[in-house]
Structure 1
């Protein structure tokens, strides 16, 4: 099920979103002694990350990880880990624990054995923030990849290596069932072009063609779309 929350601009969106996330994380800390936040890379969440990084929270009880990352170490410009460390894990939030999706290895496929235990042993997430590409991919669940059926399988392992045909770099991605195992699911979108993609995704059911549909049309999961046009 999908719920669309529209905001006048990204400033209003980010302020509201940050407040929601802090409330969710605080609740996790109060009820379970820890909270788990999954974020996505790219340009869209950077202002949100900057806002969150300065919020008063028991960040030492928060674990942060990415929904996916390129198979690059964090000194590479295109690394999502690099972005998260430079924007979110700063100021007050630098006390949070970060779980990397990268390990030394020739390929992401070789790295799965090391990354899988890091993620599969984590409890239910408190919040997952997804992004969405123009092709309807989310995390690194690309419709063009040979691994898409495996990533969307209900019995998929927590993480899988992906090699998209229409984007650079091998990837490490959380799978559909691991991402769905969260108390709150968000889809963060900015721009009228992304709203058009969302509408296309909602109009049909084929998740292999647009993997974001596996979340939006899930019979149980509730996805809150946080959207502003600009």
Structure 2
């Protein structure tokens, strides 16, 4: 893991977008397509605003969320909505989007279908993660039911997360898929998250899920 510090969030967004574009370009030199897995939430939005203008063969890039709330895509809590509105525009409008949420009575019912769609995309070429102050990443939350199974080295690609702190079920990439990405980036802002990251470095993944993916990750931080 290495930490890159920035004078402000605007500089971070521009520099991270440039690094991601370079990573994608490298992946496309060696493969027909590149898989870009990105976090939702508000943190990556400014990065997306810059990345979407990158001069890439976007029609060869497949974009997916690292996790998704089980809500329709037009819902204001949908990660897919943020990705569509902030990343899959401008030059990036020709990228292919791979949704993790498929309407179903129970999300477990459609996991095999989604995993079959994801199988050709693995390992992920470029990964962009966020982290909460509780040290969760994607939808791997400390203390949630099923966390240990989702952290296991032999975990399937996807897990259903039902954290007690959240209002809806989620579908998330599991730790081995996240950690197995070729290029890994973590974007965090503020002193509280920087402190949380430093705590996570000395904790096991069951207490700090972000710790499961820090090896080889570039951390981008601004106040």
Q: Please state how far the C-alpha of 1:121 moved relative to its aligned partner.
A: 3.1
Q: TM-score, normalised by structure 2?
A: 0.96
Aligned to 1:51: 50
Aligned ranges for residues 146-165 of structure 1 at < 5 Å?
Answer: 146-165=145-164
CA shift digits 1:156-208 (9 cap, x unpaired): 00011110011121000001111122111111101111101111111x23211
Q: Please state how far the C-alpha of 1:109 moved relative to its aligned partner.
A: 2.1
Aligned to 2:3: 4
- Alpha-carbon RMSD across the aligned residues, in angstroms, is 1.1
Q: Please state how far the C-alpha of 1:34 moved relative to its aligned partner.
A: 1.8
Q: Please state how far the C-alpha of 1:32 moved relative to its aligned partner.
A: 1.4
Structure 1 unaligned blocks of 5 or more? none
Aligned to 2:115: 116
- Residue 74 of structure 1 pairs with residue 73 of structure 2: yes
Q: 1:121 is paired with a residue of what secondary structure?
A: helix
CA shift digits 1:58-84 (9 cap, x unpaired): 100111111101011101110000110
- Residue 36 of structure 1 pairs with residue 30 of structure 2: no
Q: Please state how far the C-alpha of 1:110 moved relative to its aligned partner.
A: 2.2
Count of residues in Structure 1 that have an aligned counterpart in Structure 2? 223
Q: Please state how far the C-alpha of 1:107 moved relative to its aligned partner.
A: 2.3
Q: Distance in 1 between matches of 2:219 and 2:158?
A: 24
Q: TM-score, normalised by structure 1?
A: 0.94
Aligned to 2:219: 225
Structure 2 unaligned blocks of 5 or more? none
